[in-house]
Chains A and B, each alone.
Chain A
Amino acid sequence: MINATVSALSASLAAKELSSVELASLFLDRIAAAQPALNAFVTLDPEKTLAQAKAADKRRARGEAGPLTGIPIAHKDIWCAAGWRTTCGSRMLANFVSPYDAYVLERLGAAGAVNLGKCNMDEFAMGSSSETSYFGPVRNPWHPDCVPGGSSGGSAAAVAARLAPGATGTDTGGSIRQPAALCGVSGLKPTYGVVSRYGMVAFASSLDQGGPLGKSAADLALLLNGMAGFDARDSTSLDRPTEDYTRLLHSPLESGSGPKPLAGLRIGLPKQYFGEGLMPDVAAAVEAALGELKRLGAVTVEVDLPTSDLAVPAYYVIAPAEASSNLSRFDGVRYGHRAQDYGDLIDMYCRTRAEGFGAEVKRRILIGTYVLSHGYYDAYYLRAQKIRRLIAEDFARAFERCDVVAGPTSPTVAFKIGAKTADPVQMYLNDIYTIPANLAGLPGLSIPCGFGRGAGSEPSGGTGRLPVGLQFVGDYFSEAKMLGIAHQYQLATDWHLRAPQELKA
């Protein structure tokens, strides 16, 4: 049951083999048992969860069930959920109980999905390891000494440890794809504008995009169907016809058939994604996955993304600049933390923010404040926005020669907790392969494709075999096709079915 896909669970619910209440209880029990070891959740409210499950069962009894009715879903604690504490991993919001639902929660709720709990994350989604949370670090289900990646680390760990059939996340520079890769699960960042940002605590508004994490590409398609859609309350939401993201799972290409479902598919390999800094084990797993895709009919072509080495520098101007503006709302006046002792109004702001924000969030606010301060705008923010255009143009040129770009999601497997906390620049370089898609606004997908050796050497205290992620970056609005390609790969391989050792059976 715990290894069942969302569609299999949906079929079991429809066949009355189990109730939504039973399903939610099963996962709540698993979460409670795993919480001391993994710390994947910030807030659990079994009473609310079971009430929603009960409502889903009643709805099914009335004959009004859809594919997500009664499916329990864990939510990154960045999404506002009415009546639920929504902390964004920060002391600043540790007491914040949201008075409203995010669009994504509203929409999944309307589909009958059940809120299983709120997942731990890097504070304000700023991080690649889920270590910056005010509520303590999340641990990787594959090895307790390792990070799960971030910032959606709790969501990825929950799916990997089979504490939830699926989860929501958000991705500003890789925050869905990188933790999915490091935890051995699948994760999708849609085209910017496909999933409404309404009710998602803002980090860098021109980059932030919500998306699903799950065990398989087919599950991601079902979950995205429940999350995507136009919403007038998000000024950058795209008003497009509703899509069924499952429609190309079985035949992603018209040219494909039989044992060659990917015949005619041109996969672009950017030479910049296979260079210095890529761990040999990760490279080997990705090469093997490309070999499998070729057996399924695809061909590979080399493509050039010449501006990609400027993606991380440009991102660390744009994201902090937008964060410094977005996070100015946390002033201790209307909601969230307020300092105990203060003098005048300015002093109240300064103390409230000094106490409420952690070190990484403060650093990024300071970077953003500096680059937006008088006299520096052209040299930093404007230049970064121009580099962003060059990166988008690199991809546009690549897509003249290929249908989808592929490469590693992250340069390494999961690293040890604490290994990179002292050196922010090293931490930032984790996202070297994921950031370009955010800057260009393109969809990106990570799926498990093998394992690599972790830090240290076995059996003398090393971290053993850890998952590797294969990333696809597609053209705008090609999510359904990318999910179809990934689904065909997952039909031919079983990497996505592997679970951490103690969960087998």
Chain B
Amino acid sequence: MSLGLDEVKRIAHLARIAVNDGEAAAVRDKLNAIFAMIAKMQAIDTAGVEPMAHAQDLMLRLREDEVTETDRHAAFQKIAPQVEADLYLVPRVIE
């Protein structure tokens, strides 16, 4: 497997990271070296093996359906880049 320049740019866009042509070319070679290392995974037969997400194969805990959060919007919005009238401001998305 070898990634082309267009593919690197497509992935970068999916990841919402701006890259120019020079950056994409530089990162492509490093990514290809990493994927060559990752390809060693194909050397083993994993048919019938149960995938493992948690060492104790834990089920997610359930809790009572009740409000546990307190109102801390003032503290949280104090550190936001742009806030107005208790709302986070972003560029317009609906014309």
Q: Compute the total of residue contacts between A and B using a CB distance below 8 Å.
A: 164
B87 → chain A, closest Cβ, in Å? 11
Residues of B within 8 A of A332 (CB): 81
Are A386 and B46 in contact, with the CB atoms below 8 A? yes
Residues of B within 8 A of A362 (CB): 17, 27
B34 → chain A, closest Cβ, in Å? 6
Residues of B within 8 A of A324 (CB): 15
Contact with B along A184-220 (1 / 0, CB 8 A): 0000000111000000000000100000000000000
A108 → chain B, closest Cβ, in Å? 22
Distance in angstroms between the alpha carbons of A312 and B43 in the assembled complex: 14
Are A387 and B44 in contact, with the CB atoms below 8 A? yes
Are A387 and B41 in contact, with the CB atoms below 8 A? yes
Residues of A within 8 A of B50 (CB): 386, 389
Residues of B within 8 A of A193 (CB): 54-56, 58
A118 within 8 A of B: no
Are B15 and A366 in contact, with the CB atoms below 8 A? yes
Are A345 and B91 in contact, with the CB atoms below 8 A? yes
Contact with A along B8-20 (1 / 0, CB 8 A): 1001111111110
Can you name the residue of chain A whose Cβ is closest to the Cβ of B46? A386
Partner of A312, one of B8, B14, B37: B37
Report if A192-B81 is in contact (Cβ < 8 Å); known contacts: A344-B91, A350-B13, A384-B41.
Answer: no
Main secondary structure, interface of A, reads helix
B52 within 8 A of A: yes
B73 → chain A, closest Cβ, in Å? 10
A157 within 8 A of B: no
Interface residues on B, range: 35 or more
Contact with B along A267-297 (1 / 0, CB 8 A): 0000000000000000000000000000000
Distance in angstroms between the alpha carbons of A413 and B55 in the assembled complex: 30
Contact with B along A302-341 (1 / 0, CB 8 A): 0000010110111011000000100010011111111000
Report if A350-B93 is in contact (Cβ < 8 Å); known contacts: A236-B58, A366-B27, A370-B11.
Answer: no
B38 within 8 A of A: yes
Interface residues of chain B, those whose CB is within 8 Å of chain A, are 3, 8, 11-19, 27, 30-31, 33-35, 37-44, 46, 49-56, 58, 60-61, 63, 72, 75-76, 78-82, 88, 90-93
Can you name the residue of chain B whose Cβ is closest to the Cβ of A344? B91
Are B18 and A345 in contact, with the CB atoms below 8 A? no
Instruction: List 9 additional contacts besides A338-B82, A388-B52, A389-B51; criterion CB under 8 Å.
Output: A99-B72, A235-B61, A333-B90, A348-B90, A354-B18, A366-B8, A369-B11, A383-B41, A390-B44
Are B18 and A97 in contact, with the CB atoms below 8 A? no
Can you name the residue of chain A whose Cβ is closest to the Cβ of B76? A99
Residues of B within 8 A of A99 (CB): 72, 75-76, 78-79
Distance in angstroms between the alpha carbons of A489 and B30 in the assembled complex: 42
Distance in angstroms between the alpha carbons of A37 and B14 in the assembled complex: 41
Q: What are 12 sample pairs from A and B whose C-beta atoms fall under 8 A apart? A: A232-B63, A307-B44, A309-B40, A333-B80, A335-B76, A335-B81, A338-B82, A354-B19, A366-B12, A366-B15, A369-B11, A384-B41
Main secondary structure, interface of B, reads loop
Query: Number of A interface residues, CB 8 Å?
Result: 72
Residues of B within 8 A of A363 (CB): 27, 30-31, 34
Partner of B16, one of A95, A353, A370, A373: A353
Partner of B41, one of A313, A335, A349, A423: A313
Report if A313-B37 is in contact (Cβ < 8 Å); known contacts: A99-B72, A386-B51.
Answer: yes
Can you name the residue of chain B whose Cβ is closest to the Cβ of A99? B75
Interface residues of chain A, those whose CB is within 8 Å of chain B, are 95-97, 99, 191-193, 206, 232, 235-236, 238-239, 307, 309-310, 312-314, 316-317, 324, 328, 331-338, 342-351, 353-354, 357, 359, 362-363, 365-367, 369-370, 373, 380, 382-390, 392, 423-425, 428, 440-442, 476
Are B15 and A369 in contact, with the CB atoms below 8 A? yes
A390 → chain B, closest Cβ, in Å? 6
B14 → chain A, closest Cβ, in Å? 5
Report if A425-B91 is in contact (Cβ < 8 Å); known contacts: A232-B61, A338-B82, A350-B17.
Answer: no
B15 → chain A, closest Cβ, in Å? 4
Partner of B81, one of A97, A338, A425, A428: A338
Report if A365-B17 is in contact (Cβ < 8 Å); known contacts: A193-B58, A313-B41, A333-B80.
Answer: yes
Residues of A within 8 A of B16 (CB): 328, 331, 346, 349-350, 353
Can you name the residue of chain B whose Cβ is closest to the Cβ of A388? B52
